[in-house]
Amino acid sequence: MTLAVRYTSARTLDTAPSAASEPGPGEVELAPAYVGICGTDLHIFHGDMDARVHTPAVLGHEMSGRVVRVGPDVEGWQPGDAVTVMPLRWDGTCHACRAGHQHICQHLDFIGIDSPGAMQQRWTVPAATLVRLPGTLPLDQAALVEPTAVAVHDVGRAAVKEGEKVVVVGGGPVGILIALVARAAGAEVRVVELNAHRRLLAEELGLATWDPAAADITELVHQWTGEAGADVAFEVSGAAGGVETAVDVLGVRGRLCLVAIHPRPREVNLHRFFWRELTLVGARLYDRSDFERAVALVADGTIPAQRLLTKIVPLTEAPAAFEALESGGDVMKILVDCTDDTQGATA
């Protein structure tokens, strides 16, 4: 019998015994090592997704681990292989899938939300979801591959090019990752973030930051770009003010990439879209090429994953970790250690 972290009702998590299921045809059993807590997990914790999540629900989709057992008809994988999981299961028959957009399948099973996730000591998933990790990549750092894949997809959707000026509104984990991926693509990047701790971390990673409470961001962009405006803005804050800023900083034919999940409709200055011929693109999830690129970026140090890890806690302390993340403050990324429920460590 193994342990799992389960969401049972709004603001209530527990750790409970969980029986590992035998991997069936095309499936593998994994031993998750580290699982990240992300913003979507917090939405679930708050009860905001109760219409979608079936309780008790095992959470977690940012993970790294190793193969334990393989089911019938599984080729190319064996016990001990280091892996992460692209947590998407699509039907292959809907219009989106037939058009080649399986990652936004109209009947998508997002594993860790719609079906049991990785925050447990044994986890059975389709072999098709596995993504191989290099043996030299530490598994704690590898847990950041999934959010890095989000950033890779976002930067791709915005078609960021070398030499472009990019503004990232929101300096949380995904915002910082987007800034790092955009910089790796050759862009000049500025991160807009209220939280002083997050700004300091971004600056330690070589990213320039602006505090919207201390200066007029639109004026700073005008000075930075010679009044041309930014080529691309990413809205990662999830706040109404963030949307306004992301629109206002764009120059003619600028592109706004919407990354954050906004819980309610927002007002948008459509006149500016008309006047400057702006483009708005949505960015949701990722495909396999995004994941493979993310593995490479984490493995070669382009993404300094270790610097983004605030804390690693044992599985039994996961409920308290959710509360720590909820408070914001000096927390960036917390991982849950599923390999040992007796020891915790600070990264």
Q: What span, in angstroms and rounded, lies between the C-alpha atoms of 303 and 144?
A: 9
Q: Do residues 252 and 230 make contact, with C-beta atoms less than 8 angstroms apart?
A: no
Please measure the distance between the N-terminal and C-terminal CA atoms of the chain and give it in whole angstroms.
Answer: 29
8 A C-beta contact, residue 125 and residue 116: no
DSSP E strand boundaries for the chain: 2-9, 12-18, 27-36, 57-58, 62-70, 82-85, 88-89, 109-110, 123-126, 130-132, 165-169, 188-192, 208-210, 230-235, 250-258, 279-282, 309-314, 333-337
Contacts of 12 (CB under 8 A, 6+ apart): none
Task: Please say if 43 is a catalytic residue.
Answer: yes
| Given 43, 101, 222, 262, the catalytic residue | 43
Rounded to whole angstroms, the Cα distance separating 202 from 282 reads 25
What is the full DSSP assignment across 123-171? EEEEGGGEEE--TTS-HHHHTTHHHHHHHHHHHHHTT--TT-EEEEE--
| Torsion sign across C-alpha atoms 175, 180, 182, 183 | positive
Q: Give the angle subtended at the CA of 154 by the CAs of 149 and 159, to the nearest 5°.
A: 125
Compute the distance between CA of residue 158 and CA of residue 151 in angstroms, rounded to an integer. 11
Catalytic site includes residue 15: no
CA distance 272 to 250: 9
Look at residue 46 and give its three-state secondary structure: coil
Residue 42 CA to its chain's centroid (Å): 12
Cβ 86 vs Cβ 108: under 8 Å: no
> Over the Cα atoms of the chain, what is R_g?
20
Is-cis flag, bond preceding 56, omega within 30?
Answer: yes
Q: Which of 2, 12, 40, 209 is catalytic?
A: 40
List, by residue number, the catalytic residues: 40, 43
